A and B are shown apart, each in its own frame.
Chain A
Amino acid sequence: MGTCRSDLNGPARVYRFLLWLYPPGFRLRFGAEMLLVFQDSYRAGEERPASRLDLWILTLRDLASALPGEWWQALMRAGKFEFPIRQWADSLVIPFTVMAYLAAEGPLGAALLRKPPELPLAHGCGNASVLACMQSTGLDSTCLGITMVAALLGILSAMITARSNRAAFGTINLHSPGN
């Protein structure tokens, strides 16, 4: 942090230790200045012990309020949260499109488009509950197969993109552009 250890008194050492709670990029960029500000504040309140206690309370409150935001920013910059969520959402477009198409073709679509629903029954399927479900939703076995394949493709696509993002953005950038 560019701070000479010899000029650190006890409280400054403690504060220097607390600075390690901040994300690396932020600490490298502003750590030395923050320590300097803390030292200045401490010196200003050196005459009165109450001021010192007040400063420590302020410092702890300051840590509690600033740390979550800085870590969130650091993680967002590292792409850990932003990219996988977006890619997962993109991947789900495929099965949702197929489902919407099938719904439009079934009773819902028939009701909307004012055409009589076609309810073809699946042949060769022995499960009565599946048949009943398919009949009630207007899905036939071909439609069900297409939906399942689309859903599997979507999940597979999401897994591949999430894996490639982890490879690209998986490590937190330890150095801010300014350093």
Chain B
Amino acid sequence: MSRREPHGPDRVAPQSFQPLTPAVFYILLVLAEGDWHGYAIMQEANRRSEGALRLGPGTLYAAISRLLKDGLIVELEERPAPELDDARRRYYRLTGRGSMVLSAEAKRLAELARQARSTRAVRELKHA
């Protein structure tokens, strides 16, 4: 599928987007697996977060709007055939920059988790 070019600045460090909101993090995470439309992103984010993240359409598309602007995702120009799916659906894809931002955020979270695990309070909580 062809895709639209990102509108945002090209040379922005992935760290400048940190910390990502849970909604943005899960949207990027879901799109890292493939191209999805809004409702599928919402469902998949809910499933992956084990119900902790419930996105509404407003929050979802506000986040998508900013991700498009920053060039972290792109909208695919082609729409599904009307007989296969609703032609109004738009599909989104993670860009290279979006992938870098997701990776940087995952590293940051892993480091935070590592530091938390190294504290006595968290270790005691784990054994309790």
Contact = CB atoms under 8 A, between A and B. Distances in A.
Interface stretch (A64-72, A102-110, A116-124, A128-136): A64-72
Given A41-B39, A177-B7, A33 B89 contact: yes
B59 A65 contact: yes
Contacts, number: 64
Interface in A1-50: 2-3, 22, 26, 29-30, 32-38, 40-41
Contact of B58 (A3, A36, A63): A63
A137 interface: no
A36 to B, nearest CB: 5
Interface stretch (B27-35, B61-69, B94-102, B119-127): B61-69
Contacts of B64: 30
Interface in B1-59: 7, 37-39, 42, 54-59
A66 B59 contact: yes
B88 interface: yes
A2 B58 contact: no
Contacts of A69: 62
Nearest to A61: B56
Contacts of B55: 62
B65 A62 contact: no
State the majority secondary structure of interface residues on B. Answer: helix
A67 B7 contact: no
Nearest to A31: B61
| Contact count band on B | 20 to 34
Interface residues of A, number: 26
Given A3-B88, A40-B39, A67 B54 contact: no
A58 interface: yes
A59 interface: yes
B59 to A, nearest CB: 5
Contact of A59 (B56, B65, B89): B56
B56 A62 contact: yes
A34 B57 contact: yes
Contacts of B65: 26, 29-30
Interface string A68-91: 011000000000000000000000
Interface string B82-111: 000010111000000000000000000000
A147 to B, nearest CB: 42
Contacts of B60: 34, 37
A62 B7 contact: no
Q: Which of B7, B37, B42, B65 has the most CB of A within 10 A?
A: B65
A65 B58 contact: yes
A125 B86 CA distance: 82
> Which are the 10 A-B pairs with shortest beta-carbon distances?
A62-B56, A66-B58, A34-B57, A30-B61, A62-B58, A40-B39, A37-B57, A37-B39, A66-B62, A37-B38
Interface of B: 7, 37-39, 42, 54-62, 64-65, 86, 88-90
